[in-house]
Amino acid sequence: MAVRRIVTGHDENGKAIVVSDGETPNVVRPANRPGVEINNLWVLDGSPASVHGPEETTDRQIGLLPPQNGSVFRIIKFPPEKDWIDSVDRDAARQSFASIGAESAAAEAGKAPHPLMHRTETVDYAVCLSGEIYLVLDDSEVLMKAGDSCVQRGTNHAWSNRTDSDCYMMFVLVDGTFD
């Protein structure tokens, strides 16, 4: 599935227009995550956001985390993990998170329920668009199917696609604090 992004704006007379319409211009494929595609759709550098701000915000390197006081909007393709899950140990997971600017998000070594357990100082809005995926927590997990949503509030977690089909998830990560 190609992810299409439509961005609106205003012309010189204040009339609503489409500024851009096409495939996601910023797609990240993290190291040690075969088939994962992070489609970065929009980034806000702060809040409140100006509705007359820039017409493009993804023309830069975008890591996992949003900017300080900002947010990031993305769609991630999670392919089935059965073909690679056994080859991802904690070091490979840490390298994967480091490749998207979030090495510190990787859970500490030890007996984690999933090798890609991580924690970010964010509030994440998540919606399963297609397929299904498990939200893995420290001692429990929840199956999410198309149409299900989650508000993930800085908890240690991982996403686990145990099916034979891709799962597409929409996320909005909002900068937060553990304080």
Domains of the chain: 25-175 (2.60.120.10)
Q: What is the pLDDT of residue 64?
A: 93
Confidence at 46, pLDDT banded by 50, 70, 90: very high
**Residue 109 has what pLDDT?**
60
More confident residue, 5 or 97: 5
Q: Does residue 92 or residue 121 have the better pLDDT?
A: 121
Q: Which position has the higher pLDDT, 110 or 14?
A: 14
Radius of gyration of the chain (CA): 17
**pTM of the predicted model, to two decimals?**
0.93
The confidence score (pLDDT) of residue 1 equals: 81
| Residues ≥6 apart with Cβ < 8 Å to 105 | 64, 65, 97, 118, 119, 120
Give the pLDDT of residue 33. Answer: 85
Lowest-pLDDT choice from 68-72, 110-114, 150-154, 171-175: 110-114
pLDDT by residue (tens digit) across 94-149?
888 888 888 888 877 667 889 899 999 999 999 999 999 999 999 999 999 999 99
Residue 70 banded pLDDT, cuts 50, 70, 90? very high
pLDDT in tens, 156-178: 999 999 999 999 999 999 999 99
Q: In the prediction, which pLDDT does 110 show?
A: 65
